[in-house]
Structure formats: structure tokens, C-alpha cells
Amino acid sequence: MVKKLFDTVPEKFINVVAGIEQFYDLKTVRFEEVVGHLKTFEERARRAAGSSKTEGGQLLLTQSEWEERQRKATGDSSGRSRSSEGSRGRGRG
């Protein structure tokens, strides 16, 4: 019954099917256990697809972008980043 299920699952499950075939004895594994593995994979894939992007569609921020967001969040409008507070900057003064 498990082999018949594997013949009918969509292509996106091919890696899961290969893993189950490699690590489980298909003659003794329960059908419900195999379906559970397939459902778990689908849930994880859906969760990963939903959390891989932020609101703006960016995956990562540069250091300056991160510092700018931190300044906006804390209300600091001085323009100085926190990492340079203890060091001497360029210019006069």
C-alpha cells in the first residue's frame, strides 16, 4: 500500500519518498506513519516559504540599514550609529 502511495504523490515529495525508502522497511512501515512524514514535510515547507521574506521582501539587511531601523525604532535622530559612540569621528570638533 505504501508503494502505491509513493507512485501517486506529487513531485515535490520526491526527496521525502527517497528518504523513507532508504531508511524504512516498506514491508513493515505503517501507512499512517508514512502519511505523517509527508504531512510534516508539507507543513515545514509551507512555514519556511512564509517566513523567508520580511515585509519589504528583503532577506537580509546591510549594517547601515539595520542601524537606521534601530535609530527609527528608538527615536534617535542624531544620525550617529551606536557603534561609533565611543570612538572619535572625522571632521572638526
Q: Is 34 contained in some domain?
A: yes
18-74 pLDDT, tens per residue?
999 999 999 999 999 999 999 999 999 888 887 655 555 545 778 888 888 889 988
- Structural domain count of the chain: 1
pLDDT tens, residue by residue, 62-83: 888 888 888 998 886 555 555 5
> What count of residues does the chain have?
93
Residue 12's domain spans which residues? 1-75
Distance CA 63, CA 32 (A): 48
- Residue 35 falls within a domain, yes or no? yes
